[in-house]
Structure formats: structure tokens, C-alpha cells
Chains A and B, each alone.
Chain A
Amino acid sequence: DTGVSQDPRHKITKRGQNVTFRCDPISEHNRLYWYRQTLGQGPEFLTYFQNEAQLEKSRLLSDRFSAERPKGSFSTLEIQRTEQGDSAMYLCASSLAWDRVDGYTFGSGTRLTVV
């Protein structure tokens, strides 16, 4: 068990380009979450999957953002027509169920810089 894996670790892109991030959760975890963290803030919830079903979406997830988890395993987060305000750390987390005492397990994140 290698934990939650995110790829890439860093991404620099020009404004207007599309970017895609990948998250591989812990293998037995059926829940997967995406968060965004900007400098000086705590993580902000973006969206959540249970298996392949996307169950909750934050209002932060504008039309330019889309997330998928096609087979209930890995997930991708795509940002279209990136803007400078999209620059942030994008965190993925997974869990088996809330009532486990270990809560979520986070990955190390993908740091996006839009120039």
C-alpha cells in the first residue's frame, strides 16, 4: 500500500491552456475527494466520489472544472481554459468509510502555477 498518489507533483501552464491531474487512491478505498488549497488557507472541498459516482460538487467547481472516476479506481481532474486564479495546490484524498478512525488519507498534491 503506497498511499494516495498524485501526478504530476508540479505543473506550470500558460493561461488558457487545459490541464489534467491524476489521483490514484488507496486500493481498497471506495471514496475519493478533491480539494484545493491556496496560500495561507486550509483545503477547500471541490468534489467527492463514491466508487464511480460523483456525489457532491462544490460551487467552487466552475464549468471549467470536470472530474471523473470512470472505473471507481483512479480519478482525473481537468481544468479547461486555465486562469491565474486557478493557481493552487490540488489535493486528492481517499477513504473507506467515515467511521474509521483514520479519516481521510491525503496525497501530496499537485501544485498548479498558471502564468
Chain B
Amino acid sequence: DQQVKQNSPSLSVQEGRISILNCDYTNSMFDYFLWYKKYPAEGPTFLISISSIKDKNEDGRFTVFLNKSAKHLSLHIVPSQPGDSAVYFCAASPTGNQFYFGTGTSLTVIP
């Protein structure tokens, strides 16, 4: 039972343009959300978080948007850079302890 879904397995974007990665969840009890980036042979690296009391959080080129009514989360990367090419996972939790991860979206930024 996949409670967190990333329906796009892959995404290609030109350098300098916006990358939008999407994530849907089913559990209305989820209050904490994270985005991670993963390079091959490495563990996931934390990118940005948001809690359900907010609908937007921004950190440099990365912005996460949360639409609680739609149970939808998105990550915007502006401008996209070749070094952003990686697999991106969204994760959600009701408590901030046990997180449920999506299956990931592989982002390729084309120079």
C-alpha cells in the first residue's frame, strides 16, 4: 500500500529552466514532509522540509509547495543546473519519526 506516490519516474529539463517534481499522498494524518536528493551509491541527502501548518517553504533555488486539501506536494527548482541531476524522493510522516517515501523521480538537467 503506497501511501506516498511519485507518478513521474523521470523528468528532463533544460539548464536554466524550472524543474517541477510532484508527489501525492493518501494519508490525511501526514503532517511532516521532506524532499531528498540521491546520487548513485550514496545515501539520500536532505533538501527541504515543510510541515502542514505552512503551504510554502523556500530555500535558495528550492521551493516546496503543500496543498493539503489535494494531498499534493511539489518541489520547484529554479534555475535548474546540471548538478541537480539525481533521483528525488518525497517523504511524509504523521509524527516526524517514521517517514513514508515515494518511489522517486529521476531528474536530468540537460546542459
Give chain B residues whose Cβ lies under 8 Å from the Cβ of A98: 32, 95-97
- For A107, the chain B residues whose CB sits under 8 A away are 43
Kindly count the residue-residue contacts between A and B in the assembled complex, taking CB atoms under 8 Å apart.
Answer: 59
Please tell me if the beta carbons of B97 and A56 are within 8 angstroms of each other in the complex: yes
Q: Interface digits, B35-70 against A, CB 8 Å rule (1 contact, 0 not)?
A: 010000111111001000000000000000000000
Cα(A31)–Cα(B99), bound, Å: 14
Chain A residues packing against B (C-beta within 8 Å): 4, 6, 31, 33, 40-45, 48, 55-56, 58, 91, 93, 98-99, 101-109
For the complex with contacts A104-B34, A104-B46, A105-B46, 4 further pairs of A-B residues with Cβ separation under 8 Å are A33-B98, A56-B98, A58-B98, A98-B95
Assuming A105-B46, A106-B45, is B101 touching A48 (CB within 8 A)?
Answer: no
A43 x B46 contact (CB < 8 A): no
A36 to chain B, nearest CB (A): 11
Provide the residues of chain A in CB contact with B4, threshold 8 Å: 42
A48 to B45, CA, bound (A): 19
Contact of A106 among B32, B44, B96, B97 (CB under 8 A): B44
Tell me the count of chain B residues lying within 8 A, CB to CB, of chain A: 23
Binding site for A on B (CB under 8 A): 4, 32, 34, 36, 41-46, 49, 89, 91, 95-104
Question: Known contacts being A43-B89, A98-B96, A101-B49, is A106 close to B34, with CB within 8 Å?
Answer: no
Q: Which of A40, A41, A43, A44 has the largest number of chain B CB atoms within 10 A?
A: A43
Question: Are A42 and B32 in contact (CB-based, < 8 A)?
Answer: no
